[in-house]
Amino acid sequence: MSPSKVALTHDGGHTTYGELADRVNRLAAELRRRGVDQGDRVAYLGPNHPAAVETFFAAGLIGAVYLPLNIRLSRPELDYIIADARPSVILEPSGEELPEAEPIDEPVTLDDLCLIMYTSGTTGRPKGAMLTHANLTWNVYNHLIDIDLRSDDVTLVTAPLFHIAALAQSYLPTMIKGGRAVIMPAFDADRVLELIEHERVTSMFGVPAMYTFIAQSARWPAADLSSLRLLECGGAPVPEPLIHTYQERGLTFLQGYGMTEAAPGVLYLPPQESVRKAGTAGVPAFFTDVRLDGGEILVQGPNVFAGYWGVDEPATEDGWFRSGDAAVQDEEGFYRVVDRIKDMIISGGENIYPAEVESALLTHPGIVDCAVVGVPDDRWGEVGKAFVVSTEPVDVLAHLDGRLARYKIPKYVEFVTALPRTASGKILRRELK
């Protein structure tokens, strides 16, 4: 529809939609020439780069299955995923030009498998979530209904494209609308602010840790953020002080909630409610149903995945997927995601959600990052321990006194220089434990 419009910006260079379509077709033809067939897995191992989305579309064009690999994994971890998914080919970015090819028209249905994305594996071995073309299509519908993305939007893709949020929440909706995606090879807070100014970025997605680092950048106070319309945040519970930091700059900060298994969007906070309902993850996406069972979020809808690769047991119960996340719902139907159920601390029969304690800790100006985990206690069964990254001496317990119920205040505090995180920004609580 718009072959002359710029589709991608990367490392100062631009690719139009027409050029992208041509490059995708040539790559698809080369994959077919090398024997890749429908249903075969096509892996990509590399940083954020136009080659990642070219591989994604080229695999889809011939009915193959895209397999993005996390470059931050260790060799044994990658070996496990490769042995499990058995890709026919692994691609990485290259300057090689491919010969011209005739247009490819392979029948591909909505129910065909589009990609396998391995979960971050915060517990045990990672599992390959199988997402169909329908799953991704319905997720884009949800996104475009709930968020007013425009054809002239410029989206900064800074989260890793080997995770579902960057690919399906950030890149694909922008591409469907005919907007421009600015692809960063890796996250760097100062560089984010430079690109927002230089490229006149209008929207971006990030996990809470990314937005924290951006606000802590020396460039933040003077940065020109006038082009920004939409800031989306997800991947972990969002501390309210962080939301207010961005709202104080006049920015619309939208918290959402999703998971790889839902392609990924589940809950969205409508822009018009971003101030009044700050701290909630919003309401269910238009074509998605959500309910609570014992406080656990259950999800149903056409965006919910087809199951895990190589696992025979059904991943859903009557179409409902159990998220493992706990939430509460207010009288207006807005959900507040409180934590992973497995991360909940039970102390003397009382439930403590680490995210709530962490949010209270982050109201202290000297605390820049923190995490709370449960540790054994002879008297209470379990108590909280806080790991704190601070820029100054902080009396943590005094700061929390009066802000939280006494049983929620951690019994132990340890000051550290950094917290262990997955590539998607989630805290690796098992390492802290």
Residue-wise pLDDT tens digits, 303-326: 999 999 999 999 999 999 999 999
Task: Give the CA distances from residue 98 to residues 24, 31, 261, 419, in Å, rounded to whole numbers and listed in that order.
Answer: 10, 11, 35, 43
Better-predicted residue by pLDDT, 406 or 62:
62
Percent of the chain at pLDDT exceeding 90: 81
Residues of the chain with CATH 3.30.300.30: 344-432
For 83, the token pair is 């042995």
Question: How many CB atoms are located within 10 Å of the residue 86 CB?
Answer: 12
CATH of 6-339, one of 3.40.50.12780, 3.40.50.300, 3.40.50.12280, 3.40.50.2300: 3.40.50.12780
Give pLDDT, residue 74.
79
Q: What is the mean pLDDT of residues 48-53?
A: 98
Q: Is the pLDDT of residue 8 over 60?
A: yes
The average pLDDT across 330-355 equals: 88
Two structure tokens written together for 326: 């706990």
Average pLDDT over residues 368-387: 92
- The first and second tokens of residue 349, run together, are 């029969």
What is the C-alpha to C-alpha distance for residues 327 and 259, in angstroms, rounded to an integer? 14
* CATH 3.40.50.2300 correct for 344-432: no
Give every CB contact of residue 290 below 8 A, 6+ residues apart in sequence: 266, 267, 284, 297, 298, 299, 300, 335
- The structure tokens 């909940």 sit at 344
Q: Read off the pLDDT of residues 220-270 as tens digits, 9 standing for 90 and up.
A: 999 999 999 999 998 877 888 899 999 999 999 999 999 999 999 999 999
Positive or negative torsion for Cα 39, 45, 48, 49: negative
Residue 122's pLDDT band (cuts 50, 70, 90): very low
pTM comes to 0.86
Range in 12-26, 287-301, 337-351, 393-407 the model is least confident about: 337-351
Q: Which of 92, 29, 94 is nearest to 64 (CA)?
A: 29
Residues of the chain with CATH 3.40.50.12780: 6-339
